[in-house]
Amino acid sequence: MFSFLKADDRDSPACIMGIINLSPDSFYEKSRADSVEKAVALAGRHVKEGATILDIGAESSRPGSRPIAEDLEIERLLPVISRLVKEYNVPVSVDTYKPAVAEKVLSEGAAIINDITGLQTYPEMAKVVAKHKAGVVLMHMRGDPLSMQEAPQYEDLIGEIKSYLRKSIELAESAGVVPDRIWVDPGIGFGKTKAHNLELIRRLDEFNDLGKPVLLGVSRKSFIGGVLDLPEEERLEGSLAAAVVGVLKGAAVIRTHDVQATCRVVRMAEAIVKNGVEEK
């Protein structure tokens, strides 16, 4: 078992989480792997470029997407998880909100469940995570992927999201999930407008009082396209800018499609603000 992040450890470098999508309809084509061998190769590249966590998903959660059957999700995931845990010495996170899927992948050696519903669709997920002594990412989402972008509104953006995440933390801890293995994610792009997303990044440090490490996923998302008027394949610079601001605001994990570039800009930003590079 790897060493989990601690919320009060502000001096440690941010973790870089490399994305691998096994679904054919994930929004960024270069993150997709349509075979076990391609997934393993992409994982190897992520690790070589500096990823300290691999995040594997088999069901797209892009706006407008529909869920797939549990059996299909498991069929896509298990052969890849089996190879990754044997071939790479980094923890594997699985992006799923379904308890039956989580049970299978954790039994196969995955270390983290990345639940886009924050345990609030299937609260029994918390018991599965606790049973395996795994980590869990609790994300905020308004609605579900099919409906989440239908005119999202908030009276108190930060307050409402923090309240949701507090409930998710309570569900996790009451089920026996190890408190130091719980991370939170405000859910950039999940039931938020462009303005909401920008405000969340600007005020990300306000989530630190939840007492959990904060994960930020901004990579190539539509709000960047909205600001820069660019398609997914041209959103690297915008993604890097958002990641750097996120780290400066306290993000402990950056989830990205572009590991090498993200790792470099984050380490440079950390060196400037934390004096984290020794003189040669």
Q: How far apart are CA 120 and CA 126, in angstroms?
A: 10
- Select which of 181, 192, 221, 235 is catalytic: 221
Both tokens of residue 124?
Answer: 């029994």
Q: How far apart are CA 83 and CA 95, in angstroms?
A: 17
- 131 is annotated as an active-site residue: no
> Which residues have CB under 8 Å from 113's CB, separation 6+?
93, 94, 96, 102, 105, 106, 125, 128, 129, 134, 135, 136, 137
- 267 is annotated as an active-site residue: no
The type of residue at 88 is Y
Contact call for residues 50 and 256 (beta carbons, < 8 A): no
SS3 label, residue 66 = coil
∠ CA 254-94-257, rounded to 5°:
40
Contact call for residues 118 and 141 (beta carbons, < 8 A): yes
Strand runs (DSSP E) across 107-266, as ranges? 112-115, 135-139, 182-185, 215-217, 253-256
Contact call for residues 268 and 29 (beta carbons, < 8 A): no
∠ CA 269-223-246, rounded to 5°:
25
- Select which of 255, 264, 274, 280 is catalytic: 255
Q: How far apart are CA 57 and CA 27, in angstroms?
A: 12
Q: How far apart are CA 146 and CA 27, in angstroms?
A: 14
As annotated, the active-site residues are 221, 255
